[in-house]
Amino acid sequence: MAMQAIVFKPEDNTAVALVDLPEGTQLELEVEGQKRPVTLIEPITYQHKFAVSPIRKGERVMKYAQVIGEATADIQPGEHVHIHNMVGLRMKAAAKS
């Protein structure tokens, strides 16, 4: 079976869908020898992010071992991570100006 999603770095708390994935999809993602099982709790479209571990409100959202944003709500594993539950830190900095 072709790879369906990818976690780029061990520090990441998100993965990216490489195909459209339906709700209930069970994945066993691997990054640098670490396995990360996750079941999607909602559909995830191609190239969108989803959580691979719990991300609490106010915590940093990680992709490529880089902080890409901050959670604006609690995010469960398998949940879509996008503008409805995170803010990019550049956008947050601009809003404070």
What does the pLDDT look like over 36-87, one tens digit per residue? 999 999 999 999 999 999 999 999 999 999 999 999 999 999 999 999 999 9
The backbone torsions φ and ψ at residue 87, rounded to the nearest 5 degrees and listed phi first, read -125, 135
**Which helix H or strand E contains 81, and what residues bound it?**
strand 80-81
Distance CA 93, CA 20 (A): 32
The reported pTM is 0.89
Higher pLDDT, 93 or 62: 62
Topology (CATH level 3) of domain 5-96: 2.30.130
pLDDT confidence tier of residue 2, bands split at 50, 70 and 90: confident
**Is the pLDDT at 12 greater than 90, yes or no?**
yes
